[in-house]
Amino acid sequence: MGRLLLIDVAGSVAVLGLWYFVFSSYNRKKGASALRWVQTACAGKGRILESHWMGSSRLQARLHFPSQWFENARVTVKFQPRALPVQWLVSCCRRQKETLTFEADLGGSPSFYLDVVRHRWSAHNRGTTSRKQDEREWNIYEPGPIILTTRTHWKQDPSAELSALMSARRQDILQVRFRPESPQFSATVHLEALANPAAAAGFVTALREIAAGASAHRQ
């Protein structure tokens, strides 16, 4: 009995080890592709200095740009945790997607904290219009910008905030963040969005345009 138990344990360890090796290798191949996408996104205005893995599902790379663009730039790519079966299952259940986060310091430190989260479309069901339950009429609404602030005095024309919000929406960016501390600027996008060469080519330019919105608040 004890012998069979040891065989089962050894077999399970071997299967998990093989699983980890295979899917770690798969993520590393995706990481190499992601770095090529990032280099394409730099469009000759920047280059990758070095990269390293942080575990089996997170890749980080340092970038170099002209000083008037970004300083201390880096990207962090978060892949599905395929090498860890339980975490992968949880990630799939939550429908989490692979993302790339760009972080950098700006030429001047922003004097504010700002998180811009991409807003979604919403719909309102007006009820069934026929005998079939699956045929419904919908009113579609596009919500306007919503800003939550902790400022006690808010100016009437938050042009920089709204500009960043709408630019993030146009570029399909999930989140944009400004803050006085390093990294002063960050933006997160679905990794698959950079697989398209045309979209990747304009990614860094889009980030530059969004970051320029903070200039109105520098003191």
What pLDDT does residue 219 have? 45
Tokens for 134, please give them. 């699956």
Give me the pLDDT at residue 57, please: 94
Task: Fill in the amino acid letter for 10.
Answer: A
Predicted confidence at residue 149, as pLDDT, reads: 65
- Tell me how far apart the alpha carbons of residues 78 and 191 are, in angstroms, rounded to a whole number: 8
What pLDDT shows up at residue 155? 60
pLDDT for the residue numbered 124: 55
C-beta of residue 9 within 8 angstroms of C-beta of residue 17? no
Give phi and psi for 73, each to the nearest 5.
-80, 145
| CB 151 within 8 Å of CB 217 | no
Distance CA 6, CA 197 (A): 52
What string of pLDDT tens digits covers the 219 residues of the chain? 667 777 777 888 888 899 999 999 999 999 999 999 898 888 778 889 999 999 999 999 999 988 778 889 999 999 999 999 899 999 999 888 999 999 999 877 777 777 777 655 555 555 555 555 555 566 666 666 666 666 666 665 555 555 655 555 555 678 888 888 899 889 898 998 888 877 777 778 778 877 776 554 454
Q: Which two tokens stand for residue 193?
A: 């969005």
Structure tokens at 25: 């290798």
- Please tell me the predicted confidence (pLDDT) of residue 106: 84
